[in-house]
Amino acid sequence: FFQVNHLQAYFLNQRQTTVDYTKINTIDQYWYWLENSFVSNVRAQQWYNEDIPQYLNGFLNDKSSRLIGWATMRQLRVKSELCSDRRLISICEDSYSFSSEETQLFQPGWTTNATTEEFSSSVIKAFNYSTSDELDTYTYVGEFETYRGGGYVYEFRGLLSDMKTNLSKLHQLDWIDEKTRAVFIQLTLYNPSVQLFTAGTLLAEFLPTGGIYTTARFEPINFYTFTSIQQLVLFKLRLKYFYQFWSLIQLGIIGCSVGSIGVYFWRFQEANRISQSFEQTNGYIYINLQLAVYVNDIVTFLLGYCCFFSMIKFVQLFRFNQRVSLFAETLKYCAKELISFPIMFAI
């Protein structure tokens, strides 16, 4: 909780109106936030007394969270198409969809013509499309659209001065323009003080109408809890057992429990993969925790459903009380009418 609150306050800057991420409405405001707030936060700078931050290579400017590899900024664009009615405007940029996504390779400035001007490798790469397999990213559900894992990627690598120069050059080249539909900033952090990994995703959705909708999500993950061994106990049940109302509740508990155990081992395997990558590279390569976050969410949902069914099952313990027993008989009488309730709850 405190880790998420800290990162939200640190990156969103809601107390400063000029660089408030949640109040961004235009492309210029987004560039201003990038160049004057975000990029300075991803590198540890001098202390308050102007001392050099020793032994903080790779840390954020908060001096408490370390970047795993580097932060990435990924853009998804749409193709330009001829409008059906070209009396007012000839070129139309529609909403984002899988079919309208732009995947062509470009030169800096979104042109296909070769240029004689020299650019850094990071700037050139930002105009080349990369697939989700190359980036190790996955489909993401935003507020307005569902976005693929590919895109045009800029990596926040190198010195702070180099990153500021690259961002300024991308701004001049209109890297974000009217064809942009989404910009993801993704970073993986590790806080050694609390031994927490955090997957951060800052999404800006650029609507065809010209507006910008920003969201931010920080998902803390503790891989140290994945080392215990789960035991699965199987029960032999007769068929008649499942004809009762309380048996349906028990089925929900068993189903969610078994599902949680299965997803738990999936999460355990993903944690081992990330740990091996971290050990082999000493944290100097970008590791995407998007899949780990998805798996962790599934476990949370299953445990939530398991608790829900367990609370209903707990009512059965009061059957020895006459009044509660009457309530149980009432539930039994209207069991057929209540069948639709768990279906609506699941939806």
The answer to whether 77 and 175 are in contact (CB under 8 A) is no
pLDDT of residue 243: 58
The residue length of the chain stands at 347
Task: Please state whether beta strands 81-82 and 91-92 pair in parallel, antiparallel, or not at all (unpaired).
Answer: antiparallel
List, in order, residues 6 or more apart from 274 with CB less than 8 Å away: 197, 223, 287, 289, 292
Can you name the residues that pair with 151 across neighbouring β-strands?
Answer: 130
Contacts of 17 (CB under 8 A, 6+ apart): 23
CB 76 within 8 A of CB 101: yes
**CA-wise closest residue to 272 among 222, 219, 226:** 226
For residue 202, what pLDDT is reported? 92
Is 192 strand, coil or helix? coil
Q: Where are the domains of the chain?
A: 2-221, 239-346
Q: What is the pLDDT of residue 237?
A: 43
Task: Decide if 67 contacts 42 (C-beta within 8 A).
Answer: yes
Q: What pLDDT is recorded for position 280?
A: 77
Distance (Å, whole) CA 101 – CA 205: 14
**pLDDT for the residue numbered 274:** 76
Asked whether 218 and 1 are in contact (CB, 8 A), the reply is no
Q: Under the phi-then-psi rule, with left for phi > 0, alpha for psi from -120 to 50, and beta for the rest, what region is 227?
A: alpha
User: How far from 344 is each of 312, 328, 338, 347, CA to CA, in Å?
Assistant: 16, 22, 10, 5
* 78 secondary structure, DSSP code: B
Grouped pLDDT means (10 residues each) for the chain, 347 residues: 84 81 89 89 80 80 84 88 54 75 88 81 90 86 89 90 90 89 90 84 88 89 51 41 64 78 80 77 73 81 81 68 70 76 69
Q: CA dist 259 to 229, 271, 289, Å?
A: 15, 18, 22
| Residue 270 backbone dihedrals phi, psi, to 5 degrees | -65, -40
- In this predicted structure, what is the pLDDT of residue 197? 84
- CA triplet 207, 152, 176: central angle to 5 degrees? 45
CB 198 within 8 A of CB 191: yes
Alpha-carbon distance of 191 to 198, in angstroms, equals 8
Question: Whole-prediction pTM value?
Answer: 0.65
Give the closest residue to 286 by CA, choosing from 134, 127, 101: 134
* pLDDT attached to residue 213: 92
- Tokens linked to 254: 């068993």
Helix (H) or strand (E) holding 156: strand 151-156
